Structure 1
């Protein structure tokens, strides 16, 4: 797969209309579901085992999108296949009262993975350059320098976020970011399905409708975010999210590529431990039933 076509070049003007929300990739739904995705996930699973065993590097995966774009489903479909000990998932919504008393990156730290883990941020620190930009009343005076105008906050935060992600990268944690590029019509259909299907009513929030009314403003905020925060050390990938199965395939292949570059290896056993291992094998083999 040529997943690099979904990669956002840093500091290059981004217009989401230039990225497909669905494309003719040549696979049938059955092929993706029954053959291609399982094979890709198996590769990811094996590499993740090695990452977890080595405990030298970690990966931070950022998922951002409008409501109903498929983030939760991608987590369940892909990452539930990985060993639980090597996986950490965190979801970030509107900041709590306690979180608002700290800097906006403070709450993210708790969701970061340890070495040997893949950490999934279902929404993330990027909420702080999206929601407050759309709903300007969310940005309080105490959240930025006194001599700064509100419009100057966003370039400052983009720089801070890039510094934060570079810090993670330089300390052994890869950062990979996926934006689910869903069409407005597709969101409409998915929200209607949630409303009309009794088995999916629990997924629906009336706030989804409220936020949908700001669709165009959100798209502008996403474009600005992608343009100013995609870097070599923490790239953004724009997924054709109207096609859920294919988007999951892109995510999996990007993850496999990242892990192949890390090339984690199972730890080598020392001579002393090998001797103990041989003794344990001998003891068990000679044990009376």
Structure 2
């Protein structure tokens, strides 16, 4: 299969889940259990994922060498949707020297004294690198919106905390992403779309198996009580920030093997569009290389 044919196949798995226009977007229109009718055993799925990871590794090497573009991968999801596993499997072949993963936890005192985007802007990947946000600035319009007592800790002047604050923050995020894309940052945003029932099943699995107990926290169940609030917040976030240059992918997450295939395909497709090449060696550099070869051969 030629490179072009592979890309065409890849896009069959990404286009149904790509969101570039937020108008009329409804999360309810996307099935968390969808596999596009694809039936595959674990071995075949693993083989296809490996091929995608190998291709991505090759593209990353050229991305690093070219030192012009950078890639930012944003992962958002409800608990137990599989963000960590997806990142691990999809990025398995990547050179760690050219990739950074950030998991944003509870903000520090210094971060709370800054604007809400500051700590995220500080971690935007350098040119030639891939950056992964395992949760991101979208938490500021998801968790903080759902638990508005967290907003008080951000020390905003009271008169700036109005009824439109969430719309304002979403507009700020959209402008921030627009700015980054004009600086050569390729942004791909993944919402791993897990169903309510599947989340319960995975929570029970973590409770039933001792080697998975460490993954479980009582706070996970408490957050589950706010499921409808989170779904509404995700609806509005995707609706307000989906764009051609910073698309969302609403990835079905009830079947982990399919989740990983879609994410890998989306990344490969986006990086392929950059038409990356290794830097061309100048005539002067060729002379230096020839001189170095002669010196080594004389030893």
**Structure 2 length-normalised TM:** 0.90
Secondary structure, in 3 states, of the residue corresponding to 2:188?
strand
* Rounded Cα–Cα distance in structure 2 between residues aligned with 1:23 and 1:142: 39
Distance 1:249 1:141, change over 3 A: closer
* Rounded Cα–Cα distance in structure 2 between residues aligned with 1:19 and 1:5: 9
Partner of 1:129: 141
Describe how 1:135-284 pairs up with structure 2 within 5 A: 135-140=147-152, 146-148=158-160, 150-284=162-296
Query: 1:21 Cα deviation (Å)?
Result: 0.6
Asked whether 1:10 is paired with 2:37, we answer: no
Describe how 1:23-62 pairs up with structure 2 within 5 A: 23-24=34-35, 25-30=37-42, 32-62=44-74
* Rounded Cα–Cα distance in structure 2 between residues aligned with 1:254 and 1:261: 11
Distance 1:191 1:54, change over 3 A: same
2:102–2:134 CA contact under 8 A, matched in 1:
yes
Query: 1:148 Cα deviation (Å)?
Result: 4.9
Partner of 1:103: 115
Query: 1:101 Cα deviation (Å)?
Result: 0.7
* Rounded Cα–Cα distance in structure 1 between residues aligned with 2:25 and 2:109: 34
Query: 1:35 Cα deviation (Å)?
Result: 2.5
Secondary structure, in 3 states, of the residue corresponding to 1:139?
helix
1:89–1:111 CA contact under 8 A, matched in 2:
no
Unmatched runs of 5 consecutive residues or more in structure 2: 1-10
* Rounded Cα–Cα distance in structure 1 between residues aligned with 2:153 and 2:211: 43
2:112–2:153 CA contact under 8 A, matched in 1:
no
2:112–2:154 CA contact under 8 A, matched in 1:
no
Asked whether 1:81 is paired with 2:99, we answer: no
Secondary structure, in 3 states, of the residue corresponding to 2:71?
strand
Unmatched runs of 5 consecutive residues or more in structure 1: none
Secondary structure, in 3 states, of the residue corresponding to 2:163?
helix
Secondary structure, in 3 states, of the residue corresponding to 2:74?
strand
| 1:215-242 Cα deviation digits (max 9, x unpaired) | 1111111111111111111111100011
| 1:184-224 Cα deviation digits (max 9, x unpaired) | 11111111122221211222222111111111111111111
Secondary structure, in 3 states, of the residue corresponding to 1:102?
coil
**Once superposed, which parts of structure 1, at least 4 consecutive aligned residues long, lie more than 6 Å away?**
none
**Structure 1 length-normalised TM:** 0.93
* Rounded Cα–Cα distance in structure 2 between residues aligned with 1:141 and 1:111: 22
Q: Using the TM superposition, name which of 135-144 and 119-128 deviates more.
A: 135-144
